[in-house]
Amino acid sequence: MIKISYFNFFLVAMTSHVCLAQTRSEVVRAELSFAATAKEFTMKRAFLENMDSAAVVFGEGKIYNGFEYWNKATETPGKLLWHPAFNGLSQAEDLGFTTGPWEYRATLADSVIASGQYTTVWKKNKKGEWKFLADLGVDYRGNLFGQQSLSTSEVFISAKKNDTSALAIEKKFLETFAVHKQKAFEQSVHYNSWLNTDGKHPVQLAALVLPELAKLPDTISFQPVEGGMSSSRDLAYIYGTVTYGQKQENYLRIWGHTKDGWKIIVQVIKK
């Protein structure tokens, strides 16, 4: 079957390219299974089967409960295909993320209609199942579906037990951002950071990410809504709305705790 070949191909690529231990690959396997369900069946089925009860999805600056949104969605023959290109997992192995390219086709036999980059935050529930908490994508021209190989983030270190929450981490960053936008990013962007924005291919590494962030308009503002942190206190995420004057969109940031403190590992900033 096409699904099995696709699934096995990326598992082989993952093992040979990254050499992850079995436990470090769980979030990648969850993402590949999610994508395989969408490919063989429908997007609606894939999303409903793989989301956490608290999962959210985004659209035109709004945040929706995932189950409510997808239960109302109409089944379509359209095929959304994707695979992970960068991933990370907490030491407690209860929170993780992946980001990678996606493409959309009317059917598998048709050519690509749209393409872009997705980012998903995953959580392991009490049953030991991986379910996603947030899923936010951007679109761009120039399909990268077959051009991104898999890599992994560094292993992060646990913060102190009395350290702050994900929301407090974000608010501290935004306090600096309100005074000096670029300084806030320079202090917080991880050397191996990814930036996903509409209309552009993903940008990787701080040396390339920071110049792109400098191009953000001075009127931009971020309003965090919700987030969470791993039980090992080394990985966190936050999502909310980003405003450009009168226009409102969404954003997602993934934070990792390093020897130098909390750093932004992946950001998705819709435009």
- In this structure, the answer to whether residues 146 and 248 fall within a common structural domain is no
* Amino acid in the structure at residue 252: L
Is 173 within a domain? yes
- In this structure, the answer to whether residues 63 and 144 fall within a common structural domain is yes
Is 131 within a domain? yes
Q: What integer pLDDT is reported at residue 2 of this predicted model?
A: 32
Q: What integer pLDDT is reported at residue 213 of this predicted model?
A: 98
Q: Which residues of 9-48 are buried (b: 16+ CB within 10 A; e: fewer)?
A: ebeeebeeebebeeebbbbbbbbbbbbbbbbbebbbebbb
Residue 126 φ/ψ region, left for φ over 0, alpha for ψ in the -120 to 50 degree band, beta for the rest: alpha
- In this structure, the answer to whether residues 106 and 129 fall within a common structural domain is yes
Picking from 152, 182, 207, the residue at the C-terminal end of a domain is 152
With 80 as the cut, is the pLDDT of residue 163 above it?
Answer: no
With 90 as the cut, is the pLDDT of residue 162 above it?
Answer: no
Please give the share of the chain, as a percent, with pLDDT higher than 70. Answer: 91
User: What pTM did the predictor assign?
Assistant: 0.90
Overall number of domains in the chain: 2
Mean pLDDT for the chain? 91
pLDDT tens by residue, 1-36: 233 333 333 333 333 333 333 445 899 999 999 999
With 50 as the cut, is the pLDDT of residue 218 above it?
Answer: yes
- In this structure, the answer to whether residues 68 and 183 fall within a common structural domain is no
With 50 as the cut, is the pLDDT of residue 216 above it?
Answer: yes
Average pLDDT over residues 111-129: 97
Residue 125 banded pLDDT, cuts 50, 70, 90:
very high
Q: What integer pLDDT is reported at residue 25 of this predicted model?
A: 83
Give the integer Cα–Cα distance in Å for 2 and 20.
Answer: 25
- In this structure, the answer to whether residues 37 and 121 fall within a common structural domain is yes
Q: What integer pLDDT is reported at residue 24 of this predicted model?
A: 52
Average pLDDT over residues 29-47: 97
Q: Which of 5-19, 39-53, 199-213 shows the lowest mean pLDDT across its residues?
A: 5-19
Q: What is the CATH number for 108?
A: 3.10.450.50
Q: What integer pLDDT is reported at residue 164 of this predicted model?
A: 82
With 90 as the cut, is the pLDDT of residue 55 above it?
Answer: yes
Question: Any idea which residue has 């979030």 for tokens?
Answer: 27
The contacts found for 43-52 with CB under 8 angstroms, 24 or more apart, are: 43/73, 43/76, 43/78, 43/79, 43/80, 44/70, 44/73, 44/75, 47/135, 50/131, 50/132, 51/131, 51/132, 51/135, 52/123, 52/125, 52/131, 52/132, 52/133
- In this structure, the answer to whether residues 173 and 145 fall within a common structural domain is no
On whether the CB atoms of residues 265 and 190 are closer than 8 A, the answer is yes
- In this structure, the answer to whether residues 171 and 49 fall within a common structural domain is no
Q: Which residues of 111-134 are buried (b: 16+ CB within 10 A; e: fewer)?
A: eeeebbbbbbbbbbeeeeebbbbb
Q: What integer pLDDT is reported at residue 161 of this predicted model?
A: 77
Which residue did the predictor score with more confidence, 181 or 161?
Answer: 181
HEC string for 86-108: EEEECCCCCEEEEEEEEEEECCC
